[in-house]
Amino acid sequence: MCEYVYSSGKKCRRKPLKGSKYCSLHIPFEEGELLYGEKIKEIKRRAFERSLERGVRHFEGVQLYDIVIIEKELKEALIFRNSKIKRLVIGKSKLKNLTLINSEVDSLIIVESTIDLLYVTGVNSYGISVCSVDFKSSILIRNSSVKYVMINSTEFRPEEVTAEEEFGEAGRMAGRIEISNLEGVRRIAINSKYPLIERLSKELGVEFNVVKRPVRAHTLYLGGIKFDESPRFKRQVRIYVNRFSGQLLVENVSVPGHVEIVNSKVRYPEFVHVTIYNNIVLRNSKLYSDENWNLAYLPNLLAELEVYGFIVIENCHFNNPYLAEVFYRIARTTWEKSGDKEKADEYYYLEMLARRKRVLQYYRKGPKTLRRTFRLLEVLFEFFFADLTCKYGTDWKRPVFLWLALVIFGFPVLYALTSSVTPVNSGFDYIYFSIVTATTLGYGDLHPVGLGKVIASVEAIFGMFMWAVFLTVFARKYMR
Ligand SMILES: [Zn+2]
């Protein structure tokens, strides 16, 4: 009998290999190679396949080189415990559960398969790749040491949503991709380029039809991840989320490199106790939230997300102006800290736009009380005097052009149409009168009559106001 003792206390009942105390599954790599050379790989492979055929699903303490499970349907959970596996490939298969516990799995690849639950815990691995997989329950990668985690084209496909699940917690717990308490991580990527599948296809002689599609889940949870801090990887993108659809929850993570979220539809983006030492880029993405979530979580975002580099928000759409406001605000503060006022101004303008939208939305929804009406008027005032004139003080060219356009063209035309200036000899006199009025010189050689008095008064105020705006904005831009 093989000498291996299971954690239950029972002994392995398989026949030991000739010259060893262990069976073909349990014989350590080194001993096997010493006794059988390269042939041990084939011996182990066949032993595993036979066990699988006989219905063994629970493997403990096995040492295997290359496990390839292609086009198989396993109705029971497949479990590996305290084992060492060089490579585990599952392709074109239907699995119930795949559980890896306290094992060493150099590389785990699941491609074009259906699985209820993938549960990885206490595993030491170089890479875990999940590619084009439909999962019915969850993908949980926990308490492990994994360098690369890649999830591509993977969707949560619940079998049937019962009414109970729909309203209860059970429904919400499923559909979770959880990557938590990992250490030594170099990169976590959702839908990144992955040439390995092609290579695998060639190597195994199996055609994999990997359709590019978004990764869909209720929640993508990244928590308690310790990244490989070595300087070689420091500047790399550490968390890359591309074409992801679902809630994003990042908790207790400090990222030495960049974070990128692109082409995604993110619901309730939540960052709790997150520090990013480089930049965070949000690009071509849609971010969603609702009122309740805004009240409960959004105010914390500013305190919970610390970014040492920059926040770049490009071509993003927010369904909720409050969400936009908060994101643009943290983006602005990162640029302000670095001293790039121009970029900070850009985000400041977007932040103010979002704020205005929020007030408008608030006004539109509720009952029209006097207080709300005043608030609306305030917003209108803000639009005319702060946005239209100078983009909230970020654009000094605007007041100049506006001033020139109205003083040289707009007002003179008004005077001419109403014939409200005397005495005039030519069209130029209207322009001259307009300039003299706007600059409040008022020589008195020409003077307004009738309606002209009203127009001239407005112009005088306008001229003074715009001059003040120009000076303020100009000074703000260049004199600091
Ligand atoms: Zn054994």
Q: What is the pLDDT of residues 10-55, one digit of tens each?
A: 999 999 999 999 999 999 999 999 999 999 999 999 999 999 999 9
How many structural domains compose the chain? 3
Mean pLDDT of 436-454: 88
362 domain residue, yes or no: no
pLDDT score for 371: 81
Q: Do 295 and 146 sit in the same domain of this protein?
A: yes
Q: Do 99 and 19 sit in the same domain of this protein?
A: no
349 domain residue, yes or no: no
354 domain residue, yes or no: no
pLDDT score for 163: 55
Q: Output the CA 31–ligand 1 centroid distance in Å.
A: 14
370 domain residue, yes or no: no
The larger pLDDT score, comparing residue 109 to residue 235, is at 109
Among 31, 56, 81, where does a domain finish?
56
Q: Output the CA 66–ligand 1 centroid distance in Å.
A: 18
The larger pLDDT score, comparing residue 236 to residue 172, is at 236
Q: Output the CA 22–ligand 1 centroid distance in Å.
A: 5
Q: Do 44 and 151 sit in the same domain of this protein?
A: no
Its domain, for residue 466, covers: 397-478
Q: Give pTM, 2 decimals.
A: 0.86
Which segment of 226-240, 278-292, 308-322, 406-420 scores lowest on mean pLDDT? 226-240
pLDDT score for 298: 82
pLDDT score for 340: 86
330 domain residue, yes or no: no
Q: Do 30 and 120 sit in the same domain of this protein?
A: no
Cβ–Cβ < 8 Å for 272, 251: yes
Q: Output the CA 111–ligand 1 centroid distance in Å.
A: 30
Mean pLDDT of 454-467: 91
Q: Do 81 and 227 sit in the same domain of this protein?
A: yes
Domain containing 411 — which CATH number? 1.10.287.70
Find all residues with CB under 8 Å of 293, minimum gap 6, and list them. Answer: 268
Among 318, 338, 353, where does a domain finish?
318
Whether pLDDT at 74 is above 90: yes
Q: Do 47 and 69 sit in the same domain of this protein?
A: no
Confidence band of 168 (pLDDT split at 50, 70, 90): low
Q: Do 9 and 149 sit in the same domain of this protein?
A: no
Q: Output the CA 16–ligand 1 centroid distance in Å.
A: 7
pLDDT score for 161: 59
Q: Output the CA 5–ligand 1 centroid distance in Å.
A: 8
pLDDT score for 331: 94
Q: Do 112 and 3 sit in the same domain of this protein?
A: no
102 domain residue, yes or no: yes
Among 269, 301, 318, where does a domain finish?
318
Q: Output the CA 318–ligand 1 centroid distance in Å.
A: 58
Q: Output the CA 79–ligand 1 centroid distance in Å.
A: 16
Confidence band of 197 (pLDDT split at 50, 70, 90): confident
Q: Output the CA 87–ligand 1 centroid distance in Å.
A: 20
pLDDT score for 475: 86
Tokens 């000076």 label which residue?
Answer: 471
Q: Do 41 and 80 sit in the same domain of this protein?
A: no
Percent of the chain surpassing pLDDT 70: 97
pLDDT score for 164: 54
Q: Do 93 and 174 sit in the same domain of this protein?
A: yes
Q: Do 21 and 100 sit in the same domain of this protein?
A: no
Whether pLDDT at 433 is above 70: yes
Whether pLDDT at 166 is above 60: no
Q: Output the CA 148–ligand 1 centroid distance in Å.
A: 31
Q: Do 274 and 159 sit in the same domain of this protein?
A: yes
Q: Output the CA 149–ligand 1 centroid distance in Å.
A: 32
Number of C-beta neighbours around residue 53 at 10 A: 9
Whether pLDDT at 176 is above 70: yes
Whether pLDDT at 244 is above 60: yes
Mean pLDDT of the chain: 90
Which segment of 200-209, 352-361, 471-480 scores lowest on mean pLDDT? 471-480
288 domain residue, yes or no: yes
